[in-house]
Structure formats: structure tokens, C-alpha cells
Amino acid sequence: MKIFLAQQNYHIGNFVSNTEKILAAIAEAKKQDGDLIVFPELAVCGYPPRDFLEFDDFIRQSLDAIERIREAADTIGVLVGGPSRNPKIEGKDLFNSAYFLYEKQVKNVVHKSLLPNYDIFDEYRYFEPAYDLGIITFKGKKIAVTICEDIWNLGDNPLYRVCPMDILVQQQPQLMINLSASPFDYVHADGRKGIIKQNVAKYKLPMIYCNTTGAQTDLIFDGGSVVMNANCDLVAELPYFTETLQCVTLKDDNSFAEPVIRKAATIPMTQDLPAVFDPAKGIEQVHRALITGIRDYFGKMGFTKAVVASSGGIDSAVVQALASEALGQEHVQALLLPSQFSSRHSVTDAEHLSENLGTAYNIIPIEGIFNSFTHELQPLFANMPFNVAEENLQSRIRGALVMAACNKFGSILLNTSNKSELATGYGTLYGDMAGGLSVIGDLYKTQVYALAHYLNREREIIPVSILTKAPSAELRPGQKDTDSLPDYDILDPILYQYIERRQGPKEIIALGSDTALVQRILKMVNTNEYKRNQFCPILRISPKAFGVGRRVPIVGKYLS
């Protein structure tokens, strides 16, 4: 049996585009005499559709798309994800389903059993879990079809009371197929293969795992679809961050005709979040994820031009370089906005960066605007000493100028704040925290440096002077980031333990960190939630990003 995996990039709610993409893959598979083609989870509508699922018209269009696909499923079997209606009055109105189409008929509709309701997932808000589990039969093969999370519980997950494959295996399937929409983070790809291996090892059955790719606002999907034989050997691994149509041949004895590309012994069963922070971990994949995130955000929203406030520092340099790669240098404009406190080298470094990238740039000094503002504020401030008010005023002037440029030229402002700054509140609301998309808001400062070195792997893109100088906001004479924050080499590992690993203050202190330092850092994190709550979407590359996947009270207090 020739089985095709269609690893595709969908656009949420764009039923015309999604359906045409699905139909094109079916046509190509038929041209190559395919027997069965597998698409990812919720392919017809895109994942995650969230509250669009509450619109009856959205569901109607999803079902209309299934009808179009059904007409193409004549000589080939099609497994495609989409929402379906729950005929029972009890429970939620919808299922997250996999439609099995063949001979222009809907032969089976398989529903998702395990609905993730943690981190970025809130599927139980919309869907009813499957109340009936069964296999499908196609061309003499019994196939256990599951959807994404269904394979992540092997009977030992306290979140769920059932293990779908434990039920399905009783019906003696010969093959497992999983339709997935599993988002990227820098440890998830290996963890995903580990889960697949655990399933194959437990049930002694080969598995075909088809994942989606592309970005949906903040979520990035890396693809990496997998075919594993019953011996846990990898038979196929589709490219990451790339749309691909690939065929494998399942033989009569349930083995695959394709050669093994990776032996089982080299695939770990699990991939846990590292106990120790490593800023360089997965940096190549992080780079590809961010490029995908920028490109799809602009492409799917219909934007073409980006503006970056280029300060001559590492954060704006990395964002400008990523934007140039993702959108093309001709679509990126840098604005250099020096004040009387900006060092000359910051301007020349920013100029050098733009020249390296070939991006247009303009210099707009803000000293005159700043002086005008402080003059008007003088009666109110009553000759009070220079402090954070004047520092933030500079940032807000810059924010107003870059937004004016965006409005005038129809561009999107790319925010340049990093995760260390967002965590500690080291940023100005309506100033340097402005933007339509946060590119590096899920990268700690030390990860930004690691990414900069990766960008420079073949030639100098980020000037060496930017990489080597001490970080500074340059909002007052001689200012350094370390005036307000611990050294990033000390700060980032503590933030990682608190945010990614959800370790409390006592656990972090037990790892060897100074008690007063930990309490100071965690207080900064907790008291600045109100700033993050107003922030733009952040491209997610870690297992725990700020945004929809981390929901903590703004007024909460958590210290001990």
C-alpha cells in the first residue's frame, strides 16, 4: 500500500486556500498511484481555530470543504482533519475529527479522545472527547487512527483517565496513523519522536505520524512528520519547517519497503526539558522557527513591509537580520533614533549593520523633541531631578516616531524586546514595548547572543562591535543594563528555572542561587505582569512562553 504524508502549512479560516492545497496534494498522490493520503489535524480549517469554532458559519464552511475533498477521494483513500458536529444534546457541540474518505464517500469519522487543556491548548473549551473508539479497515489493513494528543498518554498520564490505543489495540490493528498539529519548541521535536517510539514499542505496531508546518500568529509548527516501523526504526522523517509530500510503501507483512534511516537504539524514549539552562540549545532550529514565524505572520496577514528601531544593540540587530532574511532586505526599513545620551558607536554600529544587510535606514535625532517635551513638563515637574520619567520619555518618543513611519508607509513595527527584559519589566510601555509582533520575546538575552553568533556563522552580519560591547539602553549618561539587572549570565538561568521549569523560590535557592537575588528577581517577574499583559504577540520557541500559554494573575503575589 502506497501511503502519502501531506505535511502542509494552512491558513486558519482560509477554506479556499486550504482546500485547494489539500486537493492539489490528492491529485499528485493519485498521479503517483497512491492508495492513501494522510493530512494533519484540523487541516481544512487550520489549527488552532479557537473561538472561530463558535461561529456556525465557520463550521458550515469546514463541512463544505470536506464535501469538496470527498469528491476527489475516488480511487484514493483520504484521511483529513476537520471539526464535526456532535449529534448528541449532551456535551460540547463539536468533535475534533479525522475524516476517512474513499470512493467519494465518508467511510468513517474518528474523533479525538484526549483534549489538551494546558499551556497553549484549550481544546476542551470547544470539543467533546470521543465516546466511541474504533479502527478503520482499508484495502485489507486494519488501521488505528488517532489525533495528536491521543498518543501522548500511554496509561501513566494523570491528566487523562483513558489511553485510546489501549482500547484500539484490542481490535487488532496492523498500523497506527496519527494526525497532528504539534507546535515547535526547542526540545519538542526529540520528545515527539520519543513518544512515537514509546507507542510503537508498547503496541508492536508501525506508526505514521503526520504533522502540520508553518506559523499561526505566535505558534510555529515545525512539521518533522515521522514514519516508524514496528522495530522502532525511523523509516522516514520529513523536513522541518517545509511543506512536503512524501510516500512510503507498507508491505503485506506490515513492514515498510523504504530503508531504515535511523536505528531504534539512537532514538531516546523521552526528551525532558533540560535541568540546566543552555542558551545555545537548538539554536539552528530556533533560527528556522523565527524565520517561519515572521514570514507567515506577514504573508497570512497581507503585510509586506517591516520597520525596526535600530539602536546599535544586539536585540535590534538580531531582529533586523531575521526580518531581512524572512521578508527580503528591500522590505525592511531601519530607523536610527539617537538622543544626546547615545554613544557615537551606537549610531555607527547600526549603520554598519544596515550596510551589511543591504537594508534602507534613516537617522532621526530625538534630542530636540526630548528637550521640547521636558520644557513643557517643567511646570509640572517643578525642577525635580532627572529620573526614570525622563528615561522613559525618550523611549516613548522613539515609539511614537516608529509608529508614525509605520502608519505613513503601511509597515509593521517589529518589537525588539527579549525575554529577560520582558520577564523583569526592563522596558517601557508604549515605548520600546510597542510593536505588531515580538520576534525575540521568547529568547533570553544570552540566547539572543547565541543566535547572533549563529547568524554570523558564514560571514559577519552582526558587527563584532555589537557582539562585544556591554548592553545599554543609553537613556542616561554611562548607563548599563547591569545598573538595573543582574548580569544576564546569572539572571537567565534563574528566570529559566522559574518560567520554563516552574520551580519555586525555595527550589531555585536550593540549586545554589543567592536567596536575596532570587527573591529580587522573582519579585520583578511577578510585579511586571501588567506590562506583559499589554504586549504584542510573541513568536513561541520555548516550552513556556509569555502569552496565552502562561496565564498568571496580574495582582497575584507569589514569594516565600
Question: Which residues carry out catalysis?
Answer: 41, 112, 148
Cell numbers found for residue 557: 503575589
On whether the CB atoms of residues 310 and 401 are closer than 8 A, the answer is no
Q: Is 144 helix (H, G, I), strand (E, B) or coil?
A: strand
Nearest Cα residue to 541 out of 224, 293, 227: 293
Q: How far apart are CA 75 and CA 506, in angstroms?
A: 62
Q: How far apart are CA 12 and CA 82, in angstroms?
A: 12
Cell numbers found for residue 388: 526614570
Instruction: Give the number of other CB atoms < 10 A from CB of residue 56.
Output: 10
On whether the CB atoms of residues 80 and 69 are closer than 8 A, the answer is yes
Classify burial at 246, counting beta carbons within 10 Å of its beta carbon; exposed 0-12, middle 13-18, buried 19 or more.
Answer: middle
The three-state (H, E, C) secondary structure of 9-42, written as one string: ECCCCCHHHHHHHHHHHHHHHHHCCCCEEECCCC
| DSSP per-residue letters across 273-334 | PPSS--TTTTHHHHHHHHHHHHHHHHHHHT---EEEE--SSHHHHHHHHHHHHHH-GGGEEE
Cell numbers found for residue 52: 472561530
